[in-house]
Amino acid sequence: MEGNNMKPVDKGTIKSKNKALMLAAVLLAGTVAVSSTGCKGEIKASGISIDSLEIKASGDEDVNVDVNVTEDAGTSEESTPSQKEMPAPDEIVSVMKMMSDDRFKIPHINLDTDEIRQLNDHIEEEAADFIAPGFDDYSGYRIDFEVFNGLEGIYSIAIDYNYDGWAGYYKTYTFSADGHVLSTSEIIRLAGLSENTFFSEVKKAIMTTAGEFESQGQKAIVNGEINPDYEHAELLAESLSEKYINLDMPMIIGNDGKFYVCMCIIPFADPHDMDNFYSVPGGIKTEVKKASWD
């Protein structure tokens, strides 16, 4: 509305030259609105904290606004129940060994929801399919995983399906402490991305990393573009295409709360041995467990 003023109000007293129609908005999880037709209005909140307060008024009359903050006896630090702690990764995800074999460690999520039960079943089937070609000799196969918990109540799992120490692939899943399995769209929204911006932002991050590559005196990236004289320019161009950068690529929320995607930037032969997780934005590599061959 024309002529309206909106000012933040801190603890204390504020005077503003406005009409005696006052709207106060308390911004909490939602919005609580209080209006008064005189110069006096009161907001009383029990058991909640007021993060910000805005006074919106119009007109030419003086309005004195007193903001007094008192602590209710029932909301003191001593008497307020502590917030429920989220389970640690090793509590919420346990190790299940296929065929009681230490070589095949797959995650079992200890939450009782339909979504999680379906995901646990899917992972078991996925693992069985991976080692199926081994028949009775599984010596070339390994499965292991790592759990990440960088955002409160959000967990990501990266499973390494590994063959002979160099071939294979990662599979990733992200879920919440209340048993919801996040879709790809939900995961990338946590990272501040959308399906429309995903490709360009991931490509930008990977090009940041590729900018450090050099071969035979030629840098991989020059002036923000692939250097055609770089020895592996064609492979790099393929890596930066939608063939590899897409919504089906492995992705996690890391222990630092950042968003990571997994890819091999320049795929020689089977790329899994060169698969790494890179932050978006930034293109910073983080270490993610691969199955042990000791």
Length of the chain: 294
| CB distance 156 to 167 below 8 Å | no
* Residue 48, domain member (yes or no): yes
Do 118 and 64 share a structural domain?
Answer: no
HSE (side-chain half, CA atoms, 13 Å) at 146: 17
Lowest mean pLDDT among 70-79, 112-121, 152-161: 70-79
Of all residues in the chain, what percent carry a pLDDT higher than 90? 51
Of all residues in the chain, what percent carry a pLDDT higher than 70? 67
What was the pLDDT predicted at 125? Answer: 95
| CB distance 220 to 246 below 8 Å | no
Q: Is 35 exposed, middle or buried (0-12, 13-18, 19+ CB in 10 A)?
A: exposed
- Residue type at 241? S
pTM reported for the whole predicted model: 0.69
pLDDT digits (tens, 9 = 90+) for 56-72: 555 555 555 554 544 44
Do 172 and 134 share a structural domain?
Answer: yes
What was the pLDDT predicted at 285? Answer: 92
Domain end, chosen from 75, 101, 116, is at: 75
Instruction: State the alpha helices, DSSP H only, in 28-182.
Output: 89-92, 114-131
Tokens coding 4: 């309206």
Kindly tell me if the per-residue pLDDT of 234 is higher than 70: yes
Question: Which is higher by pLDDT, 116 or 137?
Answer: 116
Do 64 and 148 share a structural domain?
Answer: no
Average pLDDT over residues 262-271: 74
Kindly tell me if the per-residue pLDDT of 164 is higher than 70: yes
Instruction: State the alpha helices, DSSP H only, in 102-247.
Output: 114-131, 184-190, 198-210, 233-239
Domain region containing 257: 89-286
What is the average pLDDT value for the chain, to the nearest integer?
Answer: 77
* Residue 82, domain member (yes or no): no
* Residue 110, domain member (yes or no): yes
**213 to each of 11, 140, 241, 271, 274, how far by Cα in Å?**
55, 32, 18, 17, 14
Q: How many domains does the chain have?
A: 2
Strand pairing report for 154-163 and 167-176: antiparallel
* Residue 81, domain member (yes or no): no
- Residue type at 141? Y
Distance of alpha carbon 61 from alpha carbon 187, whole angstroms: 50
